[in-house]
Structure 1
Amino acid sequence: MTNQNVVVSDGKSSMKVAVAMAMSNTSLFSQAVPKPPTWSAGRFVRRKAVKKLESQGGPHKINAWVDSMRASSPAKSPPSSPEHDSWMVTHPSAMDMFDEIARSSKGKKIVMFLDYDGTLSPIVQDPDRAFMSEDMRAAVKAVARYFPTAIVSGRGKDKVHDFVKLKELYYAGSHGMDIEGPSNGNDDKSIVCQPASEFLPIINQVYNKLIQKTKFIEGAKVESNKFCLSVHFRCVDEKRWPELAEQVKQVLNDYPKLKMNYGRKVLEIKPTIKWDKGKALEFLLEALGFANSKDVLPIYIGDDRTDEDAFKVLRKRKQGFGILVSKLPKETSAAYTLQDPSEVKRFLQRLVEWKQVSQCGYYRS
């Protein structure tokens, strides 16, 4: 914990103290919180079997990878089933429960955390064209006017900044391994944290190798996110997923300091350090002065398996809410759900409206 490449501008003395506390807190690198019991058997029991297979080698491991690729890429249309209805009872709509969320924030400071892909922008075939709408940008800008707001994404920090185009936000790219705060007006950043900087040479080597290994697999795309890599297979014929998994496995066999996780039609390759979106959330809360505060209400909205790390942190803290963006039943530690980015936008707009009218003293829940 002595070299996390944290820089704080001289004008933010309170931020200095907060960052020092965060970087000296060994809990930031503690073991992940155990997964809570699943709400249903069926598909989630199968995921445990997949994880067991992943510990094996050879063809079994490739088959397990392909199974996990399928499991992380559900069908587009939600089923109409008792399973779905039951899931909605335990994970109700954040829109329907908005008044409850508002009441929970009484006397507290809301801090907003937002994933990007699938949350602020729709999932698209070409990841380079995952543009957010102007209405969504306006909604995020309005939220940031009232609450500290951070974008926490697997994307590279600079890339997601180019998509969002709002200077007043905190950006945590590379699954939280590249954090930067708003400019203080002198082109300096209030906070910079890069706990995985020593892995840059390895990441670049693996990126170049994956480009060569996957270039003959039509539809495969390798994206560099600075401190992590994404291998997109959304446009790859499913029959070629085993081939793609084999190529990625061959490369990673030579790099034991890297690990792979599954996202929505994407393989995420990251350093093995104990740092994720949950650690980024903890770090930012500490940097903002809310390390042990009872007067803060973090709200994290995300759609991906990597966002579960942040949802788990909020459950462990018994503070704030995780909101999963999904139309399909999923195993999740989130308290509430929203169906898609359009509902995320409406939730953000309603949050702003609530803040505006409550300041005038006439909001009615």
Structure 2
Amino acid sequence: MTRQNVVVADTKSGINVAITMTVSNSSLFTKAVKKTRETQGGCINIPPKKVGGGARINAWVDSMRASSPTRVKSAASLSDQSSWMLRHPSALNMFEQIIEASKGKQIVMFLDYDGTLSPIVDDPDRAFMSDAMRTAVRELARYFPTAIVSGRCRDKVYNFVRLAELYYAGSHGMDIKGPAKGSKYKKETKAVLFQPASEFLPMIDEVYKALLEKTKSIPGASVEHNKFCLSVHYRCVDEKKWSMLAQQVRSVLQQYPKLRLTQGRKVLEIRPTIKWDKGKALEFLLESLGFGNCTDVFPVYIGDDRTDEDAFKILRDRGQGFGILVSKIPKDTSASYSLQEPLEARTLSYYIHALILFLYLLFSSIVYTPACINYHFFFVINL
């Protein structure tokens, strides 16, 4: 039995990927860890027409508190954490299973933005991605179709990422656009553009102005216009004011039964009631790329928010690819794997960057050899 070590370094990011190759008579891969049980996740939908009275406002506030990572973390025991990790093991430790499942298939990458490619910050307008992360995504897109799927306005996400070769799905998938010059992965050169909620634009503009007026008296509250949806951020709002904020949002939405309220990480999302979400956007993009009915496609979706659960569930139901949840706390999810969100945003960026860099190196540079080769992969992250 012989061993060969190869280290691939990314000098810009400070990440070294050490690849140890062991030649033996053992099989190429170990069996994937079997989930002990399935868990469900997703958005909390609160249709305005069903909202009424102080009891409902209290339910809103309780839900807002539940989304606070510090509260959830304090309620999670070590045994809960261990049990959750058995069901959703770290993607950084499961590369052999990922390799085995994806052999001979077309990888398609889907990436959330906030909390995945960029840190969660108090000011949404300053959620910048690092140059190292941008380089990793650019290299990834050289080999696989790659899409950014975000609740943000598509133009705003593009201004953050600044990579013209990607697909962008903004407004929770309600504003999809492909590369202007078309994609090398498509036979047709026509650019992709899809906006299923265009008729709601005047209503969204109207509600945006109303919410700005209603929330201006609440310190720390901000309303973000994401073209086909709106985000009311309360990350910087004193918890004692959350009830007041919920009441103000409710007072506006009561007049608009065609809009619905969902909840993310310290943000209230207002969206049209159409049956469209990040999961539908994922399916649309696969179809646009010509992989809608393919059995040899392997979609990978990485996200951190409740709204990403729609995409995780689609992948689980299709039985293709896998979802990766970025979270430092146990939570119900349809994702197959997880990434532990580090305490510092900078460290989080390197974890995601490491995973993306690994996938890029793995699927573009390594040629599969007979079953006598056993690969072990290790990441050394220099912070």
* Aligned amino acid, residue 124 of structure 2: P
* Aligned equivalent of 1:282: 283
Cα distance, 1:356 vs structure 2: 3.3
1:11-22 map, 5 Å: none
* Aligned equivalent of 1:118: 115
Q: Deviations over 1:179-229 (max 9, x none)?
A: 0001218xx971000000000000000000000000010000000000000
Distance 1:205 1:189 in 2: 34
* Aligned amino acid, residue 86 of structure 2: V
Distance 1:197 1:283 in 2: 17
1:86 is aligned to 2:83: yes
Q: Is the 8 A contact 1:221 1:233 kept in 2?
A: yes
1:256 is aligned to 2:257: yes
1:317-332 map, 5 Å: 317-332=318-333
* Aligned equivalent of 1:345: 353
Change (3 A) 1:87 1:116: same
Distance 1:154 1:282 in 2: 17
* Aligned amino acid, residue 109 of structure 2: M
1:178-193 map, 5 Å: 178-184=175-181, 190-193=191-194
**Helix, strand or coil at the partner of 2:271:** strand
* Aligned amino acid, residue 273 of structure 1: I
1:149-164 map, 5 Å: 149-164=146-161
Distance 1:81 1:189 in 2: 52
* Aligned equivalent of 1:242: 243
Change (3 A) 1:38 1:66: farther
Cα distance, 1:345 vs structure 2: 1.0
Distance 1:364 1:138 in 2: 29
* Aligned equivalent of 1:62: 57
Which has a greater percent of helix?
1
Distance 1:272 1:356 in 2: 41
Change (3 A) 1:160 1:197: same
**Helix, strand or coil at the partner of 2:279:** helix
* Aligned equivalent of 1:133: 130
* Aligned amino acid, residue 125 of structure 1: D
Distance 1:166 1:360 in 2: 30
Q: Is the 8 A contact 1:171 1:179 kept in 2?
A: yes
Distance 2:308 2:356 in 1: 18
Distance 2:366 2:359 in 1: 10
* Aligned equivalent of 2:295: 294
Distance 1:156 1:72 in 2: 23
* Aligned equivalent of 1:199: 200
Counterpart of 1:355 (choices 358, 363, 373) is 363
1:73 is aligned to 2:81: no
Change (3 A) 1:97 1:171: same
Distance 2:190 2:233 in 1: 32
Q: Is the 8 A contact 2:39 2:334 kept in 1?
A: no
**Helix, strand or coil at the partner of 1:262:** strand
Q: Is the 8 A contact 1:174 1:228 kept in 2?
A: yes
* Aligned amino acid, residue 250 of structure 1: S
Structure 1 alignment gaps of length 5 or more? 1-36
Cα distance, 1:119 vs structure 2: 0.4
- Equivalenced residue count is 322
**Helix, strand or coil at the partner of 2:354:** helix
Question: Quick check: 191-200 or 98-107, which moved more?
Answer: 98-107
Q: Is the 8 A contact 1:131 1:163 kept in 2?
A: yes
Distance 2:50 2:258 in 1: 16
Cα distance, 1:289 vs structure 2: 0.3
* Aligned amino acid, residue 315 of structure 2: L
Q: Deviations over 1:316-351 (max 9, x none)?
A: 101110100001000000000012333111100111
1:143 is aligned to 2:151: no
**Helix, strand or coil at the partner of 2:240:** helix
Q: Deviations over 1:98-148 (max 9, x none)?
A: 121111111100000000000000100100000001111111111101100
**Helix, strand or coil at the partner of 2:92:** coil
**Helix, strand or coil at the partner of 2:284:** helix
Counterpart of 2:172 (choices 172, 175, 194) is 175
* Aligned amino acid, residue 161 of structure 1: Y
Distance 1:131 1:171 in 2: 17
Report which of the two structures shows the higher radius of gyration computed on alpha carbons.
Answer: 2
Question: Quick check: 195-204 or 78-87, which moved more?
Answer: 78-87
Provide runs of 4+ in structure 1 moved above 3 Å: 37-40, 76-80, 359-364
Cα distance, 1:355 vs structure 2: 2.2
Distance 1:189 1:244 in 2: 45
Q: Higher RCO, 1 or 2 (CA under 8 Å, sep at least 6)?
A: 2
* Aligned equivalent of 1:13: none
TM-score, normalised relative to structure 1: 0.83
**Helix, strand or coil at the partner of 1:95:** helix
**Helix, strand or coil at the partner of 1:75:** helix
* Aligned amino acid, residue 296 of structure 1: V
Cα distance, 1:361 vs structure 2: 6.0
TM-score, normalised relative to structure 2: 0.79
* Aligned amino acid, residue 66 of structure 1: V
